[in-house]
Chain A
Amino acid sequence: MITIPYLTALTTYFSYGLLFAFGQFREFFRKIFDWWRGSNLQGYAPICLGLEDFYIRRLYLRIQDCFGRPICSPPDAWFDVVERVSNDNNKTLKRTTQVSRCLNLGSYNYLGFAASDEYCTPRVIESLKKYSASTCSARVDGGTTSIHMELEECVANFVGKPAAIVTGMGYVTNSAILPVLIGKGGLIISDSLNHNSIVNGARGSGATIRVFQHNTPSHLEKVLRELIAEGQPRTHRPWKKIIVIVEGIYSMEGELCQLPEIVAICKKYKVYVYLDEAHSIGAVGKTGRGVCELLGVDTADVDIMMGTFTKSFGSCGGYIAGSKELIEYLKYSCPAHLYATSISPPAAQQIISAIKVILGEDGTSRGAQKLARIRENSNFFRSELQKMGFEVLGDNDSPVMPIMIYNPAKIPAFSRECLKHNVAVVIVGFPATPLLLARARICISAAHSREDLNKALEVFSEVGDLTGIKYFPAEPQKQQVEENRVKLE
């Protein structure tokens, strides 16, 4: 639940109104020019729709430089950001040869495996020599090498499930596996803020989709009761099966899933739980085994556990872990297993090595140190930000922390000012978030040292004052401020 001051809400609306009106003005003239020049479509319908185009031309292009900044080094704690220039009011950006070394608070490099690692990198290169960079074949054909078998075993072991299946991309894992599990006559109940890959997978499945209020078990129960009682639309037959889909850590909110409550409800109503641990696997929990470990949920109670390797493990790909039968069935029918090129062997080796480091199987305690570090770093950074008066979302222990910005003009201002001080942050606005709730997102890594974090805090404090996003200026008044707010979900 986010609360927002009336004044901020008003100014934010006003700013968007302004942007919109300006946009319409310019669009009006553009249309006149277009008409003047005549249509060059020759009977084809325009390839991009007006609405999408308007958003890109009139809102996104203005702040384009804050997104997609190229880097030319691994996304470690510090990285080299390539500077870009624009000669046409931000319409196009050109890369220059200049780079600036910036503190990286944007990459999902939670455990610091993105850069070369003394244990992982030599093994990865060895696997490249032995297995080449790709297999050019699907897993069921000739795309299964011994590394793939080892990886699946290793992942199943790490996650705490009997078996696992690995695909080459996290997004595809969600969007290609949901349709296999459920189809017409089934019901998917999804958290309102679930990732786009889940949404697409659910749509592709043909099942009925309902959402429950973000991370609210009581609402989930209410929705479940109503829907089970109602049955399928039109026919009112009972549902074939119901799957509840939640994420471990919500990447835009930094919140931990209320898993114990949700799992309890799902057990009570005999529905299946699908847990997407993209951001939590490896990043939280005493031995890095994700939210189940952190919140004390038995993995046997979660039917389908999904996660990705692009975050904590610094590789690519995704997995599904579950019962032996589930995995066998998926291997028989999942398109990502049957048609897609199998995960690149060096990337697979990276994951195996990273898991070994995390579990201490490399013979050092580096994994445990990394886990302790990320936890300390996150909690330290979060509490310091709060002390400074920023509005920080999310729970303790979560390495993702969004800082609320609200006003559209402050979005690029915050990002640009931080970059000037050599701190790279991610900003997110409409349409990825609701219109009002634009934010900056900080991802803490175990690779950050205390000095790095202190520097970041210093810069944030300064830029925060400059842009006026310290919405809770002084600690003691917080309560009072809270009363004066509109409540938003």
Chain B
Amino acid sequence: MTYDADALAQLEQDAAEILGRYPVKRSALLPLLHLVQSVDGYVSPDGIAFCANQVDLTSAEVSAVATFYTQYKRRPNGEYQVGVCTNTLCAIMGGDEIWRQVSERCGIGHDETTADGKITLERLECNAACDYAPVMMVNWEFFDNMTPDRALRVVDDILEGRDVVPTRGPAKVAPFKEVSRVLAGFEDGRADEDQGLGEPTVVGLKVAREQGWEDAK
């Protein structure tokens, strides 16, 4: 293993915390894989060996698990994972066209990374935000009701090093490694950040209030 002493000590400390959440060691494997992505930016050979060691599996067994899940990356990932939902509902509402333009602007296709390492592109399956279609996700934060122009602006901002702000979510999108650490179950203190009410989320509630139907309480 090639982690330096400090990195390894930190990893071991974090891994101990993760293992402490489960009654059976092996359950820690998915969060551990998110954890090594937060250090290496992908599931590296070192990361696999580290996980295997933590949960008493072989590297081959850990690889077999990691390759099953699309969020674990086999190659160094871009700093921003940009996904355009092209499942049916979003595709029809404009997602196909957004994908075409975003892919053209970045000059890459599905599961490819720009030469500067900024963006990895992905055609997403439904991300449970269909009421906000067409939807894009950047490092797993919501960019709702996209148009090609808005999507291109997000991409340009990333390519030119500016922060990007989701429509539902925190004040800005954190880089891939930071977000991977959250997915390993470590809070980053940003849960209270918010972009205000998303209209589709509260539309039914508003209708009920207008009609005086709240008495159902």
Chain A complexes with chain B: no
> Hey, which bits of chain A sit against chain B, CB under 8 A?
none
> Hey, which bits of chain B sit against chain A, CB under 8 A?
none
